[in-house]
Amino acid sequence: MRCKAGFAVVIAALALSSAPVRADAPVVAATGDHSRVLPLQGGRNFRDLGGYRSADGRSVKWRVLFRSGSMTGLTANDYAYLEKLGIRVVCDLRDNRERIAEPVQWPAAAAPQVLSSDYLLDQRAMLPAGPPVQWTAEAARASLAAQYPRLLAQFNGQYRRMFAELLAGHAPLAFNCSAGKDRTGIAAALLLTALGVPRATVIEDYLLTNQTLDTGSLAKSGAISQLPAPAIKAMLAADPSYIAAAFAVIDAHVDGADGYLRDELGLGAADIAHLRGLYLE
């Protein structure tokens, strides 16, 4: 057990906190003067949710809703760029240890309101059983897929808080975890779903992390290098089966996604209409 816990800490520290944005990554759904990945020197998977078309023909507004990994690497120029965007609120989904390990120092004059919760994420629940050297890609994917429904429940309060800020018009708003993949991926999926973006597009946004987060160097770093390469790849990936596991819970709810948003996140029909009025054009 101590061995497994040790690898959990190592993998959390490396996989969730060290990968920069790939400068050469192809970017989907960029239009006109807008780029999906923000042009930040120290950004990590910092992306704009704008431009995605909703089922009613409108589109998510650009430069209003953002998803990201840890913001610890932001430079003075990055902060200046984000100040121009006018980000008012940051929902930081990271746990206590992650926030201590990678602090974010917003300049006082332009600091948004940062909302976070005190908790410790049990990374061991995301890892396969057995000796780490025997982990397979299939076992790693199964463990992560099983974790996503638990993340939906564990972070319900933080997701509710994010929607409350959005309903109050406190935007531009950004939300992040460490890599911007799992907790953030679910948050983005819930938000885009509430805005009426089709499921296929929501999944496309989730999978974009595979293009915008450079994990190649992580496989050679420290203890994680001792793991089988297929298992490492599966752990660091945004795999369709992971987000599908979360959607399976949502779709199984009474009245499907509409019922889940209503009963689990407190978003009634009037709230959904208000959100769409605020963030679609």
**pLDDT at residue 13 is higher than 80:** no
Mean pLDDT, range 64-69, rounded to an integer = 98
In angstroms, the CA 271 to CA 281 distance is 17
Neighbouring-strand partners of residue 68: 176
pLDDT per position as a tens digit, 67-119: 999 999 999 999 999 999 999 999 999 999 999 999 999 998 889 999 999 99
Mean of the per-residue pLDDT values of the chain: 88
One of 21, 49, 177, 187 is an active-site residue; which one?
A: 177
Nearest Cα to 93, choosing from 71, 115, 112? 115
Please tell me which residue, 182 or 122, carries the higher pLDDT value: 182
Neighbouring-strand partners of residue 280: 60
Q: What are phi and psi of 165, to 5 degrees?
A: -65, -40
pLDDT confidence of residue 26: 43
2-19+29-124+131-279: in CATH 3.90.190.10: yes
Q: For the chain, give every domain's residue range.
A: 2-19+29-124+131-279
Q: How confident is the model at residue 225 (pLDDT cuts 50, 70, 90)?
A: low
Which tokens in the block code for residue 219?
């496989």
> Which residues lie below 8 Å from residue 270, measured CB to CB, with a gap of 6+?
none
N- to C-terminal Cα separation, the chain: 52
**pLDDT at residue 7 is higher than 70:** no
pLDDT per position as a tens digit, 167-207: 999 999 999 999 999 999 999 999 999 999 999 999 999 99
Strands 65-68 and 173-176 come out as parallel
pLDDT per position as a tens digit, 240-266: 999 999 999 999 999 999 999 999 999
Percentage of residues of the chain with pLDDT beyond 70: 84
pLDDT confidence of residue 71: 97
Active site residue 177: yes
pLDDT confidence of residue 226: 74
Mean pLDDT, range 48-55, rounded to an integer = 98
pLDDT confidence of residue 235: 84
In angstroms, the CA 37 to CA 11 distance is 25
**pLDDT at residue 136 is higher than 80:** yes
